[in-house]
Amino acid sequence: MSDFLSQFGELFASYDVLGAFWVNIQLTFWAGLIALVVGCVLALFRISPVPSLAWVGTAYVTVFRNTPLTIIMVFMTLGVWGQLKIQVSDDFPTNFFWLAVIGLAIYHAAFVCESIRSGVNTVPLGQAEAARAIGLSFLPAARMVILPQAFRGAIAPLGNTLIALIKNSTVAAAAGVATETSTLLKNMIEFNSSLIYAIFLTFAVGYVILVIPVGLLTTTLSRRLAVRR
């Protein structure tokens, strides 16, 4: 047992495991923030009475929900940076970090949109009708009446999307982020194959620690803030 525990000590002494997880947490935070904003706009498009906006929202969701995330991340590196020469920073690591954030945000915005739209479905139809009856147009009604209640009904699916984003942040390696967990895992297995069980448990437990609190929190909030019919 002591020998097995010493393997963990060797790994943490030789590699910056906590630093790698911190990079994934930052990727998740910024991508989640951007995805939430874009997803809200897309959700407004999806429920908009304007057919062209509804079509744009539907097309976005259909395309990006059915496109593999790895393809998007590779495109951000080889297409956006490699061919289009678009970069967000002169510093290479920082540039690839933000390209990965944008790729993650673009992909998960489609799922955020659908989560919010599922929350809209929990809002009683009479709420929207009452908003129109007092003279509110679509945007004020959505901002003051529909979306506040929709978010309460969308907490659980939004939590599931956040959990997926946490795990999908490992795909950032495909966008050239060399300091996150999947790249570190590859290096650790390549140079310390004798410690394979300790390596696997390190990353498995690390992601369990990140994911379980999110699931518990969103489940609790979903129950407490559910829209009462």
Listed in sequence order, the DSSP H helices in the chain are: 2-14, 17-47, 51-65, 69-74, 92-120, 125-133, 138-141, 147-153, 155-168, 181-191, 196-225
For 124, the 3-state DSSP assignment is: coil
C-alpha dist (Å) from residue 68 to 103, 105, 120, 164: 11, 13, 27, 13
Query: pLDDT digits over 57-76, tens only?
Result: 999 999 999 999 999 998 98
Angstrom distance (rounded) from CA 99 to CA 87: 8
Token readout for 152 is 């309460």
pTM for this entry: 0.88
Query: pLDDT digits over 133-192, tens only?
Result: 787 777 777 777 888 888 888 888 999 999 999 999 888 877 777 777 888 888 888 887
The alpha carbon torsion through 169, 108, 59, 43 (nearest 10 deg) reads -170
CATH assignment, 2-225: 1.10.3720.10
pLDDT above 90 (res 26): yes
For 22, the 3-state DSSP assignment is: helix
